């Protein structure tokens, strides 16, 4: 299989570059620039390398650099933004702050006739985001594109197949960006576009069938996409040697526990143990109001329950996990500031001993995991499921968590989700749910005074959940949700809509 190395210099679009290349059916993997040597790159047989963008100036102290040796490996390179400047610098060119200042946003670019720009019109729109620019070309290079403010918008040395673009071909604002990436990957690097989900599925099942032969495998199933696909994949590989433990902590949405059980235990015939641990979780959470403490208790209890179940199963050789590629990349990058402790159901308990770990999705992006799920016959409801946090409704009941509050929230949340899902609007929010605030307010129903909870509705539009904008849901939809909730759910006297984006808010309330 032909593959491309995306060498990560800290840019914000690094994952996007790899995803775009994979969408062209060529396998691409991301490595931090400091994690791989030129010898290792050579030995791994990459057909091409992409240097990513990054926030630095190449001359800045601590700017991420790789040695110039990489240019002599005989492997084609495409530098993007910072990567373009670094390539020029390593090849002997000069970089300087652009004379006209920073260039940012959609920009008209004109390209020369070149293999990199095959099928790209002479004039088109690209996405620029830079302060520095290549000032003096390195020896052997020529200019391949320019914009009004950037005379060196793309460069190339055909004899060594080294190329750089100042703009970002990976973002959709660059009209012909995908075509340019395809030209590099297929025409310049000579990759065969033959990386397909069907092959990934067959190869993964075969690999694990062999590797896990006669071994007992355990997986914590949450009903989320990642663990669901992991379960079905491994079930195909090892059948009844896989046991899935589904910890129902009582913090799930309406009907969710039964659906997971019916799907995996029922429809797919997976060996499934559903542990009804609601009482235990509620007891541990009684009286607790502080968000981080709640998260901690839920995470801790989850691990204990999982551990106890595992113990009863006797000797287990392999722990399976639904780790996906962005988790792998993120964990290699070190910690950014901790806003809240994310707890993913399925985390590895520290004091459990397994001889092996199986992570069949560790090379796949989320959209690829969904595609695999579809191939495995996972119901649409699960494949297209919006994200749901590990601590579940525990972070959506503000203040103390009680069974009564959870039941009220479950009903309100189900009505809101149903209303949104049924709407004619094409653009579904990426995540939408209800939150039970701990504020009560006065209302009137019939002739009687009510004093019930306030429910907040939340819907966000986002690409990556790192930032998000509140979704402009139609007023009529909000009206339907509000009147259905107040009419159908006893205990709620007021419905409000959250109009805060992230930042400054987070998606979840706790
Ligand atoms: P925040 O609230 O941090 O949420 O803006 C961003 C995305 O992450 C989800 N989320 C979690 N997912 N475990 C998870 O698996 C968690 O503990 C957790 N907390 C938040 C949240 O639903 C949103 O999609």
In a domain, 504, yes or no: no
Domain total for the chain? 3
Q: What is the DSSP string of 371-401?
A: HHHHHTT--HHHHTPPP--TTGGGGTB-SS-
The pocket around ligand 1, CB under 6 angstroms, is made up of 340, 342-344, 387, 389-391, 431, 465, 502, 506-508
Averaged pLDDT, 31-58 = 95
Q: Do residues 224 and 163 share a domain?
A: no
Q: Catalytic residue positions?
A: 81, 168, 170
In terms of domains, do 245 and 285 share one? yes
- What secondary structure does DSSP assign to 413-449, as a single string? HHHHHHHHHHSS-S---SEEEEEEEEEEEEEEETTEE
Range 141-148 average pLDDT: 97
**How far, in Å, is the centroid of ligand 1 from the Cα of 225?**
14
Listed range (105-109, 229-233, 465-469, 481-485) with the worst mean pLDDT: 465-469
178 with 83, same domain: the answer is: yes
Question: Is residue 101 one of the residues assigned to a domain?
Answer: yes
Query: Is residue 90 in a domain?
Result: yes
Give the pLDDT score at 334. 42
Q: What does the pLDDT look like over 312-326, one tens digit per residue? A: 999 899 999 999 988
Longest dimension (CA), the chain: 86
Query: How far does the centroid of ligand 1 lie from the alpha carbon of residue 342, in Å?
Result: 6
Q: Say yes or no: 155 and 225 in one domain.
A: no
pLDDT attached to residue 341: 59
Q: What is the spatial distance between Cα 138 and Cα 469, in angstroms, rounded to a whole number?
A: 43
By most ligand atoms within 8 Å of CB, the mutation choice from 300, 391, 459, 465 for ligand 1 is: 465
Residue 480 lies in a domain: yes
Same domain, residue pair 17 and 79: yes
- 421 CB burial (10 A radius; 0-12, 13-18, 19+): exposed
In angstroms, rounded to a whole number, what is the distance separating the alpha carbons of residues 342 and 334? Answer: 15
Q: What mean pLDDT value characterizes the chain?
A: 93
What are the DSSP calls for 76-107, one per residue? -EEEETHHHHHHHHHTT-EEEE-TT--EEEEE
CATH of the domain at 31: 3.40.50.880
Among 324, 356, 383, the domain boundary falls at 383
Nearest Cα residue to atom 10 of ligand 1: 389
Phi-psi region of 25 (alpha: psi -120 to 50; beta: other; left: phi over 0): left
Instruction: Name the band, by pLDDT with cuts 50, 70 and 90, for residue 9.
Output: very high
* Phi then psi dihedrals of residue 317, to 5 deg: -90, -35
> Looking at 28-37, 122-131, 329-338, 490-499, which range is the least confident one?
329-338
Mean pLDDT value across residues 25-30: 96
pLDDT at 346: 42
- Can you give the CATH number for the domain in which 491 is found? 3.30.300.10
How far apart CA 78 and CA 50 sit, in angstroms, is 5
Q: In angstroms, what is the span from residue 21 Cα to ligand 1's centroid?
A: 28
Q: How far is CA 375 from CA 41, 232, 347, 359, 404, in A?
A: 33, 10, 26, 18, 40
153 and 262 share a domain? no
378-412 pLDDT per residue, tens: 999 899 999 999 999 999 999 999 999 999 999 99
Average pLDDT in the 462-490 region? 94
How far apart CA 266 and CA 18 sit, in angstroms, is 37
DSSP string, 189-203: T-------HHHHHHH
Atom of ligand 1 nearest to the CA of 390: 13
Same domain, 174 and 155: yes
Count the Cβ atoms, other than its own, within 10 Å of residue 339.
Answer: 9
Does the pLDDT value for residue 416 go beyond 80?
yes
**One domain for residues 296 and 333:** yes
Q: Please check whether residue 505 lies inside any domain of the structure.
A: no
What are phi and psi for residue 206, nearest 5 degrees? -65, -45
What are the C-alpha distances in Å from 90 to residues 35, 66, 162, 173, 421? 19, 9, 11, 29, 52
Q: Which residue range forms the structural domain that includes residue 336?
A: 197-383
How many angstroms separate the first and last alpha carbons of the chain?
Answer: 44
**Based on the domain organization, do 283 and 179 belong to the same domain?**
no
Residue closest by Cα to atom 17 of ligand 1: 342
Do 85 and 171 lie in a common domain? yes
Q: Would the pLDDT of 335 be above 70?
A: no
Residues 146 and 18 in one domain: yes
193 confidence band (pLDDT: 50, 70, 90): very high
Q: Which of 30-44, 317-331, 376-390, 484-498 has the lowest mean pLDDT?
A: 317-331
Average pLDDT in the 489-495 region? 97
* pLDDT tens for each residue of 341-369: 554 544 555 666 677 899 999 999 999 99
Looking from the CA of residue 386, the nearest atom of ligand 1 is: 24
Pocket test for ligand 1, best of 508, 509, 510 (most atoms within 8 A of CB): 508
Residue of 198, 208, 206 lying closest to 358 (CA atoms):
208
- Of the three residues 357, 383, 409, the one that is the final residue of a domain is 383
Q: Is the dihedral of CA 223, 361, 375, 245 positive or negative?
A: negative
pLDDT (average), residues 158-177? 96
Model confidence pLDDT, tens digit, residues 434-461 = 999 999 999 998 889 999 999 999 999 9
**Statement: residue 4 has pLDDT above 90:** yes
Indicate the DSSP class of residue 188: I
pLDDT of res. 223 = 87
Mean pLDDT of 188-205: 95
User: So what's the pLDDT on residue 175?
Assistant: 96
Q: Are 298 and 305 in contact (CB under 8 A)?
A: no
Which of 224, 228, 297, 342 best tests ligand 1's pocket when mutated (most atoms within 8 Å of CB)?
A: 342
Would the pLDDT of 370 be above 70?
yes
Distance 278 CA to ligand 1 centre (A): 21
| Global confidence as pTM | 0.83
Give the domain CATH number at 220. 3.40.50.620
DSSP-derived 3-state class of residue 368? helix
DSSP 8-state assignment for residue 33: G
Determine what percent of the chain is predicted with pLDDT higher than 70: 95
Q: Which of 128, 81, 85, 134 is nearest to 104 (CA)?
A: 128
Burial of 290 (0-12, 13-18, 19+ CB in 10 A): exposed
Q: Using CB atoms within 10 A of its CB, is residue 260 exposed (0-12), middle (13-18) or buried (19+)?
A: buried
pLDDT score of 117 more than 90: yes
Let me know if residue 141 belongs to a domain. yes
Q: From the alpha carbon of 395, which atom of ligand 1 is closest? A: 19
Q: What is the whole-number distance in angstroms between the Cα of residue 507 and the centre of ligand 1? A: 7
Could you tell me if 419 and 365 lie in one domain?
no
Tell whether 391 is covered by a domain.
Answer: no
Bridge partners of 460, per DSSP, are: 431, 470
Pick the residue with more confidence: 176 or 61? 176
Q: Whose CA is nearest to atom 9 of ligand 1?
A: 389
Q: How far away, in angstroms, is 53 Cα from ligand 1 center?
A: 27
Last residue of a domain, one of 154, 188, 222: 188
**389: in domain:** no
């Amino acid at each position: 299989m032909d593959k491309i190395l995306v060498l990560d210099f800290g840019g914000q679009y690094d994952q996007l570059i790899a995803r775009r290349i994979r969408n062209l059916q060529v396998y691409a993997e991301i490595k931090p620039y400091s994690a791989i040597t030129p010898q290792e790159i050579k030995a791994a047989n990459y057909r091409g390398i992409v240097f990513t963008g990054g926030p630095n100036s190449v001359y800045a102290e601590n700017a991420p650099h790789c040695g110039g040796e990489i240019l002599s490996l005989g492997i084609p390179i495409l530098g993007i933004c910072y990567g373009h400047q670094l390539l020029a610098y390593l090849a002997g060119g000069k970089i300087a702050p652009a004379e006209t200042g920073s260039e940012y946003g959609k920009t008209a670019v004109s390209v020369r006739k070149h293999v990199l720009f095959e099928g790209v019109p002479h004039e088109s729109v690209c996405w620029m985001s830079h302060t520095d620019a290549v000032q003096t070309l390195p020896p052997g290079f020529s200019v391949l594109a320019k914009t009004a403010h950037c005379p060196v918008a793309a460069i190339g040395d055909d004899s060594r197949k080294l190329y750089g673009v100042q703009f970002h071909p990976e973002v959709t604002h660059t009209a012909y960006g995908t075509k340019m990436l395809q030209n590099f990957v297929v025409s310049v690097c000579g990759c065969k576009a033959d990386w397909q989900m069907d092959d990934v599925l067959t190869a993964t099942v075969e690999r694990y069938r062999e590797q896990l032969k006669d071994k007992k495998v355990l997986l914590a199933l949450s009903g989320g996409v990642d663990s669901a696909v992991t379960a079905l994949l491994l079930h195909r590989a090892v059948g009844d040697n896989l046991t899935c433990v589904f910890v129902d902590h009582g913090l799930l949405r309406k009907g969710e526990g039964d659906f997971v059980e019916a799907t995996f235990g029922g429809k797919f015939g997976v060996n499934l143990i559903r542990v009804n641990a609601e009482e235990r979780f509620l007891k541990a959470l009684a009286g607790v109001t502080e968000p981080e403490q709640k998260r901690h208790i839920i995470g801790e209890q989850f691990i204990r329950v999982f551990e106890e179940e595992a113990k009863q199963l006797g000797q287990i050789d392999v722990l399976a996990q639904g780790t996906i590629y962005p988790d792998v990349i993120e964990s290699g990058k070190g910690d950014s500031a901790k806003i809240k402790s994310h707890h993913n159901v399925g985390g590895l308990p520290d004091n459990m001993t397994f001889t092996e770990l199986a992570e069949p999705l560790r090379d796949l992006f989320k959209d690829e995991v969904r595609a695999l799920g579809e191939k495995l016959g996972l119901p649409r409801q699960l494949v297209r499921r919006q994200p749901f946090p590990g601590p579940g409704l525990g972070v959506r009941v503000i203040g103390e968590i009680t069974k009564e509050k959870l039941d009220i929230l479950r009903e309100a949340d189900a009505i809101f989700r149903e209303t949104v899902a049924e709407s004619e609007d094409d653009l579904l929010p990426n995540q939408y749910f209800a939150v039970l605030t701990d504020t009560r307010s006065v209302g009137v129903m019939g002739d009687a005074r009510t004093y019930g909870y306030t429910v907040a509705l939340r819907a966000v539009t986002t690409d990556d959940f790192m930032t998000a904008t509140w979704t402009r849901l139609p007023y009529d939809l909000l009206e339907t949700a509000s009147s259905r909730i107040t009419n159908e759910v006893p205990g709620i006297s007021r419905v409000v809509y959250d109009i805060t984006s992230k930042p400054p808010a987070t998606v979840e309330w706790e």
